[in-house]
Structure formats: structure tokens, C-alpha cells
A and B are shown apart, each in its own frame.
Chain A
Amino acid sequence: SQQGEEDPQALSIQEGENATMNCSYKTSINNLQWYRQNSGRGLVHLILIRSNEREKHSGRLRVTLDTSKKSSSLLITASRAADTASYFCATVPFSGGYNKLIFGAGTRLAVHP
């Protein structure tokens, strides 16, 4: 079964508002990554947070990681219409040694002008 679960499944907001997406996973991880997928396109890497990190920022993105709760959140501040896309979290399991991404179900974000 899929490792990650994301909520909400869909999020609809106005431009300028903040968008928060959550991700939960089941097993120990090496790192957790967030990807964006525009409709009909491939995935684009946004940000990576390692298991020993708690928070990371990149531009308007803020990611948190709580390994005790096995959860992460992605915050997009001051959203724009161009942020409309699906957002996926993906974990790299701690065991295995390979860079195997296990994806969550994704959150569909719609930002209205």
C-alpha cells in the first residue's frame, strides 16, 4: 500500500492566501521530499527535508517534519494562480540504501485569481 497519506485531497483558495498541505507516513525515513505536478506534466522537485531536520524554507515554501508523529506539512505563503497544481510528498525509507521514493496520494491545489 502507499506509504504516505496526504490531506486535504483537494484545496481551493484565493490568490494571496496561504495553503497548507499535510502528509503522514508509516515507517522510518531517511528524508522526505515534496514535488509539484502541473496538469499533464512531470513532477518537479520542490524541497527535501532530512530526518534530523525539523523545518526548512525555500522562497515561499516552508516544510516541517515531525518524525515522532511521522508527519510533514508544506506551507505555501502568498499563493499565486501559478501555484495551481498537485503536490505530492514522497519519503525515502531509512532501510534499503536506495533512493526509492514512496509517494503519497497528493493534494490538488487550486488558487483562484
Chain B
Amino acid sequence: GAVVSQHPSWVICKSGTSVKIECRSLDFQATTMFWYRQFPKQSLMLMATSNEGSKATYEQGVEKDKFLINHASLTLSTLTVTSAHPEDSSFYICSGTAGNTIYFGEGSWLTVV
């Protein structure tokens, strides 16, 4: 299947700082990518849809100024968590579509201390 890569796999940051997570489609182009957040023992929650060359669309309850999404190319979308707080600690996962199938990245663990 198609490959979606995320970086970093895990990151620890101090409260109040910003951290960027990258999502790359390695062997296909993705005009649309999705960002999810997952807390332990819970399902994935869709945060936003990342659109190449245009603004992201956010799900209800997700703060667009806090979770900045940039999709500057057909193979790269980035999620920046700004002014991070401990409650932002979570597992962040991105996905991209190849054909009729969505493929997910390996996920990125964010811990805010």
C-alpha cells in the first residue's frame, strides 16, 4: 500500500512553546490530508482537513489558531501546536488518500511538560 510518514515519532516540549509535526506522502500525491488526535484507549478524533494550496477546514471544537495546518505541497502537510499546554499531550495521526483508500501515518506522540 501507499506510505505516509510522520516526523517526529515523539516529541517532548515545554508548556507555552510551539511544536511542528510533519506528514509526508512518500509515494503518492495528496491534495487532501487529514489530521487526527487520539487519547489513550480512545478512538481517533478528526481534527481538520488539510487542503493543498488553501486553508484547512477544522472540525467543530478544534481551535484553528492553536492547531495551525499548512499544506504547501502535494506531499507535505504540517501541524503546528502553538502555545502548547499539558492537555494537548496526545497521539497525533495524519492520513492521505491514494486512489479510493486512505493510508495513515505512524503517528506522533506529543508530551507537553
B is a partner of A? no
